[in-house]
């Protein structure tokens, strides 16, 4: 019998080739109100998580930066200012709706000249080897079907000495915080999603996908296995979010 390979989509098991499609549906649905929902869900704290990521990036004028799953362009906007006219930022997202929202938003904010947009799959990045000084993937890795493949792809396109920053939901470090967080994300979050975007399912998927994502130590060892060195992570907001950093040797 021909056994079909499966992977998780939240708590649901789906065929590997179906996951990207299902994730795409979620983001097509939430793209228009993605920023508003981020602010509502995190009480604005996502801005601090992203700010810390920029601080840890060590990006400077002239650098080439790839912002994978860049969505509405929060990080790309800051990177475009940091790299200046001699640098280059590529905002990549697999989802066309998110990419369109991000592109419109950045153009509206006057960012042009040193930024390009690419609809790309993190597992098969369409860039030459040793291209980027820094790669970021913020709240995107958990939606990728094969995370190991994506990490290896990122390693390939990074320049030696370049750094990968993975900003992602992770495991809270205190049991009490974990309980509060569980209640919030499984009960309140879908309700907010229903009220604002009329789409409770997408936000239920968000909560479930966070629980299925590897915890801090597991992701760190996955990065080591992919070939990154000097890997480390910073917990933020009690471990609800973690920033992982790895350097290409």
Partner 1 sequence: MDAMFTTAAFASAEKMINAALAYDPATRIALSKLAPQVLAIKLTTPEMCIYVAPAVDGIKLLGHYEGDITTQVQGSAPALITLLKSERVNLKDSGVQVIGSTTFLAELQQILKKIDIDWEEMLSQIFGDIIGHQGAELIRSKMNWAKDRASNITRLTSEFVTEELQTLPSKAEVAFFNQQVDEIRLGVDRVEARINQLLQKNFQP
Residues that bind partner 1 (CB under 8 A): 45, 47-49, 51-52, 55-61, 81, 234-238
Contact 129, 61 (CB under 8 A): no
- CA atoms of 69 and 140, how far apart (whole Å): 5
Q: Of 125 and 134, which has the nearer Cβ to partner 1?
A: 134
Minimal distance in Å, beta carbon 164 to partner 1? Answer: 13
Minimal distance in Å, beta carbon 38 to partner 1? Answer: 16
Q: Of 97 and 235, which has the nearer Cβ to partner 1?
A: 235
Q: How many residues does the chain have?
A: 249
Minimal distance in Å, beta carbon 174 to partner 1? Answer: 11
- CA atoms of 43 and 189, how far apart (whole Å): 12
**DSSP state string for 205-222:** HHHHHHHHS--HHHHHHH
Structure tokens at 13: 């098991």
Q: Of 36 and 58, which has the nearer Cβ to partner 1?
A: 58
**DSSP strands (E only) in 71-114:** 88-93
Q: Of 226 and 241, which has the nearer Cβ to partner 1?
A: 241
Q: Of 31 and 210, which has the nearer Cβ to partner 1?
A: 210
Structure tokens at 113: 């000249």
Helices and strands: H and E segment counts in the chain? 10, 9
Contact 73, 106 (CB under 8 A): yes
- CA atoms of 26 and 186, how far apart (whole Å): 17
Q: Of 7 and 235, which has the nearer Cβ to partner 1?
A: 235
Minimal distance in Å, beta carbon 48 to partner 1? Answer: 5
- Cα-only R_g, the chain: 17
Minimal distance in Å, beta carbon 84 to partner 1? Answer: 8
CB count within 10 Å of CB 191 equals 11
Minimal distance in Å, beta carbon 243 to partner 1? Answer: 9
Structure tokens at 221: 């060892």
Minimal distance in Å, beta carbon 61 to partner 1? Answer: 5
Q: Of 57 and 202, which has the nearer Cβ to partner 1?
A: 57
């Amino acid at each position: 019998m021909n056994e079909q390979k499966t992977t998780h989509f939240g708590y649901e098991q789906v065929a590997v080739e179906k996951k990207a499609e299902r994730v795409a549906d979620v983001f097509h649905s939430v793209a228009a109100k993605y920023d508003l929902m981020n602010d509502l869900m995190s009480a604005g704290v996502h801005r601090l998580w992203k700010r810390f990521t920029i601080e840890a990036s060590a990006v400077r004028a002239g650098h080439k930066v790839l912002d994978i799953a860049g969505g509405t362009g929060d990080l790309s906007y800051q990177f475009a200012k940091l790299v200046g006219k001699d640098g280059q930022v590529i905002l990549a997202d697999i989802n066309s709706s998110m990419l369109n929202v991000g592109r419109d938003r950045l153009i509206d904010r006057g960012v042009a000249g040193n930024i390009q947009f690419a609809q790309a799959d993190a597992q098969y990045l369409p860039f030459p080897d040793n291209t980027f000084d820094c790669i970021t993937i913020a709240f995107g890795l958990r939606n990728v079907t094969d995370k190991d493949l994506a990490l290896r792809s990122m390693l390939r396109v990074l320049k030696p000495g370049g750094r990968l920053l993975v900003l992602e939901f992770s495991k809270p470090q205190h049991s009490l915080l974990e309980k509060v967080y569980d209640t919030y994300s499984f009960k309140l979050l879908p309700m907010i999603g229903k009220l604002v975007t009329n789409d409770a399912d997408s936000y239920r998927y968000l909560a479930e996908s966070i629980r299925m994502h590897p915890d801090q130590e597991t992701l760190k060892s996955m990065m080591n296995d992919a070939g990154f060195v000097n890997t480390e992570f910073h917990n933020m907001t009690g471990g609800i979010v973690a920033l992982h950093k790895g350097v290409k040797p």
